[in-house]
Amino acid sequence: MIFYFSGTGNSRYAAQKIAAMTGDRAYDIAEITGGDLPGDGNADVTGFIFPVYFSGLPEIVKRFASDIKVHAVLGTYVFSVITCGASPAAADKKLAKALGVNIDYSASLVMPDNYIVAYNPSTREKALDTLAAAQGEIDKICNDILNRRALVKSSLKGSLSTAFVYPLYGVFRTTRPFFADEKCVGCGKCESLCPDSAIKLKGGIPEWTKPRCQHCVACINSCPVDAIQFGKKTAERNRYCIEKLISKK
């Protein structure tokens, strides 16, 4: 079985490709309620595919991994594929710690950058190039998984980055600067796609109802009219989600 989390679609894209190529099933962590794991898929494989956040795990992935009963994972081939804009650092070690079991194989997959609240994501042209380059990596990863390859890389730089940068995630994942500007048409897409149920439409205008969220940036990047802002800097920045990248003419 493969479990994935995705804000802007990169990890979903990778999970669906990897599941199809390895004859497995991919489940969205945001849609699994309670501690019961689905019964379909390869019972001897447990895969986790998600984006790196601040050199570590999205909070929802950490919670899911901690809640999984260890016996459901023990004895299976455990792998992680961590999508990133640059580097997964030691996010795989954080996953292993949350799971309470060792990971057999971990791979990183460079995909288009999406963290618009902190920097300007790639242009459409650059994102298309990055996605094209990722295809070969996905093929390699599938081959490794099918051959049950054991490989977990570790680097001092990655571990240091996780140790120093990951604590900032808790501080920065505030919702306070989010707002919808005058372009908002009240379509409700942001409310329905938020994996944290942190957005509610009130009088046709979205409001962020939790002080902190996953910071998956799905809302701000997926709004069909680019109406969502995070403070003053995002209005001029590129917006990235794989749905728009792939579907646009």
Ligand X SMILES: Cc1cc2nc3c(=O)[nH]c(=O)nc-3n(C[C@H](O)[C@H](O)[C@H](O)COP(=O)(O)O)c2cc1C
Interface ranges with ligand X (CB under 6 A): 6-11, 51-55, 83-87, 111, 113-115, 215-217
Choice between 94 and 239, CB closer to ligand SF4: 239
Torsions phi, psi of 216, nearest 5? -75, -10
Q: Is 19 in the site for ligand SF4 (CB under 6 A)?
A: no
Q: How many CB atoms lie within 10 A of CB 242?
A: 22
DSSP structural state of residue 172: H
Question: Of the listed pieces 75-83, 139-147, 186-194, 235-243, which binds ligand SF4 according to CB under 6 A?
Answer: 186-194
Query: Count of alpha carbons within 13 Å of 197, Cβ hemisphere only?
Result: 2
Choice between 7 and 41, CB closer to ligand X: 7
The single residue among 196, 234, 237, 241 that binds ligand SF4, judged by CB under 6 A, is 196
Q: In angstroms, how far is CA 34 from the centroid of its own chain?
A: 20
The single residue among 37, 199, 241, 245 that binds ligand SF4, judged by CB under 6 A, is 199
Beta-strand pair 26-28/2-4:
parallel
Choice between 34 and 136, CB closer to ligand X: 136
Cα gap 137→145, rounded to integer Å: 12
Give least dist CB 113 to ligand X, A.
5
Q: Give the residue from 35, 123, 221, 66 showing the smallest Cα distance to 131.
A: 123
# binding residues, ligand SF4 (CB under 6 A): 28
